[in-house]
Amino acid sequence: MTRRTTKIAYRPVGWLAGAGAGAVAGLLFKQTWKLVGHDDDAPNATDEDRGWGEILLAAAIQGAIFALVKAAVERAGATGVRRATGEWPA
Protein backbone atom coordinates (compact mmCIF):
# COMPACT_ATOMS: atom_id res chain seq x y z
CA MET A 1 0.00 0.00 0.00
CA THR A 2 1.40 3.41 -0.88
CA ARG A 3 1.73 6.18 1.66
CA ARG A 4 -0.99 8.18 -0.10
CA THR A 5 -3.40 5.22 -0.09
CA THR A 6 -2.68 4.58 3.58
CA LYS A 7 -3.36 8.23 4.40
CA ILE A 8 -6.65 8.21 2.47
CA ALA A 9 -7.73 4.91 4.03
CA TYR A 10 -7.01 6.27 7.50
CA ARG A 11 -9.25 9.36 7.12
CA PRO A 12 -12.62 7.69 7.85
CA VAL A 13 -11.08 5.78 10.73
CA GLY A 14 -9.69 9.03 12.10
CA TRP A 15 -13.04 10.78 11.80
CA LEU A 16 -14.90 8.03 13.62
CA ALA A 17 -12.23 7.77 16.27
CA GLY A 18 -12.30 11.56 16.71
CA ALA A 19 -16.05 11.60 17.24
CA GLY A 20 -15.78 8.80 19.76
CA ALA A 21 -12.89 10.54 21.49
CA GLY A 22 -14.94 13.72 21.82
CA ALA A 23 -17.78 11.83 23.47
CA VAL A 24 -15.43 10.02 25.85
CA ALA A 25 -13.61 13.25 26.71
CA GLY A 26 -16.93 14.96 27.45
CA LEU A 27 -17.93 12.19 29.84
CA LEU A 28 -14.51 12.22 31.53
CA PHE A 29 -14.72 15.99 31.99
CA LYS A 30 -18.19 15.80 33.53
CA GLN A 31 -17.01 13.17 36.02
CA THR A 32 -13.81 15.08 36.77
CA TRP A 33 -15.72 18.31 37.34
CA LYS A 34 -18.04 16.58 39.79
CA LEU A 35 -14.95 15.70 41.86
CA VAL A 36 -13.06 18.98 41.44
CA GLY A 37 -15.88 21.47 41.34
CA HIS A 38 -18.19 19.72 43.79
CA ASP A 39 -21.03 20.48 41.40
CA ASP A 40 -22.84 18.46 38.73
CA ASP A 41 -22.53 21.13 36.04
CA ALA A 42 -19.38 22.88 34.93
CA PRO A 43 -19.67 26.65 34.60
CA ASN A 44 -20.18 28.37 31.27
CA ALA A 45 -17.97 31.35 30.50
CA THR A 46 -21.05 33.61 30.64
CA ASP A 47 -22.39 32.21 33.92
CA GLU A 48 -22.86 35.32 36.00
CA ASP A 49 -22.99 33.42 39.30
CA ARG A 50 -19.54 31.86 38.91
CA GLY A 51 -16.21 33.57 39.49
CA TRP A 52 -13.31 33.96 37.11
CA GLY A 53 -11.21 31.37 38.92
CA GLU A 54 -13.85 28.66 38.72
CA ILE A 55 -14.57 29.34 35.05
CA LEU A 56 -10.90 29.37 34.06
CA LEU A 57 -10.18 26.24 36.10
CA ALA A 58 -13.04 24.40 34.37
CA ALA A 59 -11.79 25.52 30.95
CA ALA A 60 -8.22 24.41 31.71
CA ILE A 61 -9.33 20.99 32.95
CA GLN A 62 -11.63 20.51 29.98
CA GLY A 63 -8.91 21.49 27.51
CA ALA A 64 -6.36 19.17 29.11
CA ILE A 65 -8.76 16.21 29.08
CA PHE A 66 -9.79 16.77 25.46
CA ALA A 67 -6.16 17.13 24.32
CA LEU A 68 -5.06 14.02 26.20
CA VAL A 69 -7.89 11.86 24.85
CA LYS A 70 -7.42 13.20 21.31
CA ALA A 71 -3.69 12.48 21.33
CA ALA A 72 -4.18 8.98 22.76
CA VAL A 73 -6.84 8.08 20.18
CA GLU A 74 -4.87 9.50 17.25
CA ARG A 75 -1.71 7.70 18.33
CA ALA A 76 -3.55 4.40 18.83
CA GLY A 77 -5.20 4.76 15.43
CA ALA A 78 -1.92 5.47 13.67
CA THR A 79 -0.27 2.54 15.42
CA GLY A 80 -3.13 0.27 14.33
CA VAL A 81 -2.80 1.43 10.73
CA ARG A 82 0.93 0.75 10.81
CA ARG A 83 0.32 -2.77 12.12
CA ALA A 84 -2.31 -3.41 9.46
CA THR A 85 -0.52 -1.86 6.47
CA GLY A 86 3.12 -1.48 7.41
CA GLU A 87 2.89 2.27 6.72
CA TRP A 88 2.58 5.17 9.16
CA PRO A 89 -0.39 7.39 8.14
CA ALA A 90 1.46 10.72 8.20
State residue 37 phi and psi, 5-degree precision. Answer: -90, -5
Query: Does residue 90 lie within any of the structural domains?
Result: no
Query: Does residue 27 lie within any of the structural domains?
Result: yes
- pLDDT tens digit string along 9-61? 778 878 888 888 999 999 999 999 999 988 888 999 999 999 999 999 999 99
- pLDDT tens digit string along 73-90? 989 988 888 888 888 887
* Structural Rg of the chain based on CA atoms: 18
Query: Does residue 63 lie within any of the structural domains?
Result: yes
**pLDDT tier at 1, thresholds 50, 70, 90:** low
pTM for the model: 0.81
Domain around 23:
3-85
Count: domains in the chain: 1
Contact between residue 77 and residue 14 where contact means Cβ atoms under 8 Å apart: yes
Query: Does residue 65 lie within any of the structural domains?
Result: yes
